[in-house]
Each structure stands twice: as C-alpha cells, then as structure tokens.
Amino acid sequence: MIYRASTAEEAVKLRHENPSSVYLAGGTEIMRLGSSAAADVIIDITALPLSDIETADGKVSIGALAVLQDIKEAEVIPSFIRDAASFCASLQLRNAATVGGNFALRRTDSYMAAALLASECEVEIMCSEGVKKMAASAYFDKPECRGLLLRFIVDTKREGRVKRISRASHMHAAVTAAFSGGCYAWSVSGSGTAYGHSRDGWKNIDIKDDLTGSAEYKRYLASVLL
C-alpha cells in the first residue's frame, strides 16, 4: 500500500498511524543490498519541497530530499561533506539518492553519516508536535523516531576531512571516518557508528567481521584513518 503525502505534517501523521511504514523518496537506500527497511505501508514523500540548498547567516540549509549529486556540486557546502557525497561512486545513484535517506536509515556503510556527524550540524525534523530543531547526533541516536527529517543546517565555514576505505569504489565501505572542528565520527560496516571529541571514539563500536573485512582489519582502519 502506498500513500502520497502532500505535506510534511501529513507524512508524519501517516507514519504514526501505520507502525509498519517507511518514508520513500529516492528509494535507493531501501533497495540497496543489506537494507533492513521493510514495511507494509509506503509513504511517498517525493512531492514535498525539501530539496533546496540555501545559505543564510553563515549556515547552509540542505533539504533532506537534496540528491547526492546536488550536494557534490554545491560550492556553499563544506568541501568534506561534498567529498562524502562523492563516495557514492555512480552518477546515476547520486542523481537519485537523497541525503536524508542516506542519513536517516543509519546504515553502517552510509556515505554521509560520518561527515554530517563530524560537522556537528543541526537537523530540523517534523514531529507530531510540529517542527523541532536538534543536533543531528541526537536525531541519529534515536532510530525509533518516526519524525520526518526536513533539513540539515551546517556551518558554511566548517572545515574537515573524510575518508572511506572499501575494496572498490562502488562497494560497501569497510570504514568511513570524518573529522571536523575537533569532532571525530566513524561508520564501521556491519558494526556501528560512533562520534565525539575523542580520537579513540571508534573503540566504543563492537567491531565485527563482515563481507568488507575482518574485525581486526576494520579496527586497524578506524585507528589510522584520521
């Protein structure tokens, strides 16, 4: 069953009314190998006006439906976040995959999560009580949240770096790591995500073997990437 939401409020209402539901935009994260997204009800949010990238007061607002190619090309976005979008090695995928989907599904091989968490950006989400602004990390830590991610708000002057190790450019990353303004973040395939101001923060992840490599290999990568 599919519903097409015409407003963010309507999308959130539908999400709360249907426990087994999922938001659908580009769809590439839902369909990607290893996706755990499953639902009886699909809430189509593609019609919502959430793809703008705008600057104001030293911040850049990135709509959750902005696709990775638009992020890669937007010079107002800090370069390390644009680099993270480039990790999605296919132009076709970048034309379809949205930044909101890549972040909200919280995959451990996410292209964007480490860079966005390290940027210490804020997010706006639509909840049943209305629009809320919070740290992206606070949203990320609540996978049970049914709110709709509306936009990321990033400091335009933020500098940083992001690195990703995978066996080939198009394959799932073993480790993606980012550093910005004193904040570190790691996404470790099949294991978890960690962020914070400690360079050893990756040690909080229970790193496991998976198709991208052994636990020992990924621990080594996490320790040396930044």
Partner 1 sequence: MLSKIEFKVNGRNTVFSGNPLTRLIDVLREDLGLTGVKEGCGEGECGACSVIKDGKLVTSCIIPVGAVNGSEIYTIEGIRDTEKGKCLVESFAEGGAVQCGFCIPGMVMAAYALLSENPHPTDEEIRKGISGNICRCTGYDLIVASIRLAADKGGDLWA
Q: What 8-state DSSP symbol labels residue 210? A: B
In angstroms, how far is the first alpha carbon of the chain from the final one? 45
Determine, following the binding rule CB under 8 A, whether residue 28 of this chain makes contact with partner 1.
Answer: yes
Count of residues that interact with partner 1, criterion CB under 8 A: 25
| Nearest residue (CB) to partner 1, 44 versus 155 | 44
Q: Is residue 60 close enough to count as binding partner 1 by CB under 8 A?
A: no
- Does 44 sit near partner 1 (CB under 8 A)? yes
Of 92-111, binders to partner 1 (CB under 8 A) are 92-93, 95-96
Out of 2, 57, 75, 157, name the contact with partner 1 by CB under 8 A.
2
* Residue from 32, 106, 146, 203 in contact with partner 1 (CB under 8 A): 32
Residue 162: Cβ-neighbour burial (10 angstroms; 0-12, 13-18, 19+)? buried
- Return the ∠ at Cα 43 (arms to 15 and 191), rounded to 5°: 75
Gyration radius of the chain's alpha carbons: 17
User: Within a 10 A sphere around the Cβ of 144, how many other Cβ atoms?
Assistant: 4
CB of 171 to partner 1, least distance (A): 8
The CB density around residue 4, as the number of other CB atoms within 10 Å, is 15
How many CA atoms within 13 Å lie on the side-chain side of 89?
A: 10
Using the minimum distance from each CB to partner 1, give the nearer residue, 42 or 126: 42
Binding mask 117-156 for partner 1 (x = CB under 8 A): ----------------------------------------
Rule CB under 8 A: which residues touch partner 1?
A: 1-4, 24-28, 30-33, 42, 44, 46-47, 89-93, 95-96, 170
